[in-house]
C-alpha cells in the first residue's frame, strides 16, 4: 500500500514537472513575449497543472465507480464523529454557498469593481461564477450520480457529482481573493486564506448534511480553484498581448 502511494505521488510529480517543462519550452519557442509572465506566474501555472491532474483522477475514479466504497466509509465516519446537535448549524452554514448568497455577492462585487474602474477584477468575478455554474450543470447532467442515502437528508436538485455549493464558492471566493491580491498585494495572502476557509466550511457542511459524497466535494474544490485561476491567467495573457502590441 505504501509503495503504491509513493509510486502514485512520483507519477504525479513527474506529470506536473513534464507539463511545466513543456509549457516553458513552447513559450520559449513560439511565444517568447510571454516568458516573463510565465516566470512571474510560475506558482499559479504549477497549481493549475496539479489541479488538472487531481481533477482528472477524481473524474476517472467517480465515473468508473472506483470511489464508492471509500466514499461510503468516509461519509459514515464523518457522521459518527460530528455531534448530532450541529445539524442546524450546518444547515445554516451551507446557505453561504447557495445561489441566494453567491449570486448577490458576485453582482455586488462586480458592480463595485466596475464602479472604481477595475474592469479586470469585475470581469474575473463574473466569469468565474458563470463558468462554474455552467460546469456544475453540465457535469451533473453527464455524471448522473445518485446522492448519498445513508440517512434522511434534505432534497437538492441534480445529481451528486460535483457539489455545486462547493464549486460555486471555490470559484467565487478564489476570484475575489485574486482581485484583492491585485488591488492590495499585502492583503493577498489573507484574502486567499479567508477564501479557502470559506470554501472548506461549505464543503464540510455538505458532507455533514449527508447530501454529497466526499469525492463530490473534492472534485468541486479542485474545479472551482481551477476555474478562477485559469480565467485569471487567460485574462492576464490577453492584457500582456495588448501591452506587447502597443509597444
* pLDDT tens-place string over residues 191-217: 999 999 999 999 999 999 999 999 999
The answer to whether residue 22 is domain-embedded is: no
Lookup: cell for 243: 501591452
- Can you give the pLDDT at residue 222? 94
The answer to whether residue 25 is domain-embedded is: no
Structure confidence at residue 1 as a pLDDT band (50, 70, 90): low
pLDDT at 131 over 70: yes
The answer to whether residue 9 is domain-embedded is: no
Q: Return phi, psi of residue 38, to 5°.
A: -60, -40
pLDDT digits (tens, 9 = 90+) for 230-247: 999 999 888 877 776 666
Q: Which domain holds residue 131?
A: 70-245
The percentage of the chain sitting over the pLDDT mark of 90, rounded to a whole number, equals: 56
Structure confidence at residue 6 as a pLDDT band (50, 70, 90): confident
pLDDT at 39 over 80: yes
The answer to whether residue 55 is domain-embedded is: no
The answer to whether residue 39 is domain-embedded is: no
The answer to whether residue 235 is domain-embedded is: yes
The answer to whether residue 38 is domain-embedded is: no
- Can you give the pLDDT at residue 102? 96
CB–CB of 129/137 below 8 Å? Answer: no
Angle at 23 between CA 20 and CA 228, to 5 degrees: 80
Residues 6+ apart with CB under 8 A from 218: 58
For the residues 157-171, what does the mean pLDDT come to?
92
Number of compact structural domains in the chain? 1
Q: For position 88, which CATH number holds?
A: 1.20.144
Separation of alpha carbons 172 and 125, rounded Å: 7
Separation of alpha carbons 73 and 70, rounded Å: 5
- Kindly report the length of the chain: 247
The answer to whether residue 91 is domain-embedded is: yes
Whether the model clears a pTM of 0.85, i.e. scores above it, the answer is yes
CB–CB of 214/225 below 8 Å? Answer: no
Amino acid at each position: 500500500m505504501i509503495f503504491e502511494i509513493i509510486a502514485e505521488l512520483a507519477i504525479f510529480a513527474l506529470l506536473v514537472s513534464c507539463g511545466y517543462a513543456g509549457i516553458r519550452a513552447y513559450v520559449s519557442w513560439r511565444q517568447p513575449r510571454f516568458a516573463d509572465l510565465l516566470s512571474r506566474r510560475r506558482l499559479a501555472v504549477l497549481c493549475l497543472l496539479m489541479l488538472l491532474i487531481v481533477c482528472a483522477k477524481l473524474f476517472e475514479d467517480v465515473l468508473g465507480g472506483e470511489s464508492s466504497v471509500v466514499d461510503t466509509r468516509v461519509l459514515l465516519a464523518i457522521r459518527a464523529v460530528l455531534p448530532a446537535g450541529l445539524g442546524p448549524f450546518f444547515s445554516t452554514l451551507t446557505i453561504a454557498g447557495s445561489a441566494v448568497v453567491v449570486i448577490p455577492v458576485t453582482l455586488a462585487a462586480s458592480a463595485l469593481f466596475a464602479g472604481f474602474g477595475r474592469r479586470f477584477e469585475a470581469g474575473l468575478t463574473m466569469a468565474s461564477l458563470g463558468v462554474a455554474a455552467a460546469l456544475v450543470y453540465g457535469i451533473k447532467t453527464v455524471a448522473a450520480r445518485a446522492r448519498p442515502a445513508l440517512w434522511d437528508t434534505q432534497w437538492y436538485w441534480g445529481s451528486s457529482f460535483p457539489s455545486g455549493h462547493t464549486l460555486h464558492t471555490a470559484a467565487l471566493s478564489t476570484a475575489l481573493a485574486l482581485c484583492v491580491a491585485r488591488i492590495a498585494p499585502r492583503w493577498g495572502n489573507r484574502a486567499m486564506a479567508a477564501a479557502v476557509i470559506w470554501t472548506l466550511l461549505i464543503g464540510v457542511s455538505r458532507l455533514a448534511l449527508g447530501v454529497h459524497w466526499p469525492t463530490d466535494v473534492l472534485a468541486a474544490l479542485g474545479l472551482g480553484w481551477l476555474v478562477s485561476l485559469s480565467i485569471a491567467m487567460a485574462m492576464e495573457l490577453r492584457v500582456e498581448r495588448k501591452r506587447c502590441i502597443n509597444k
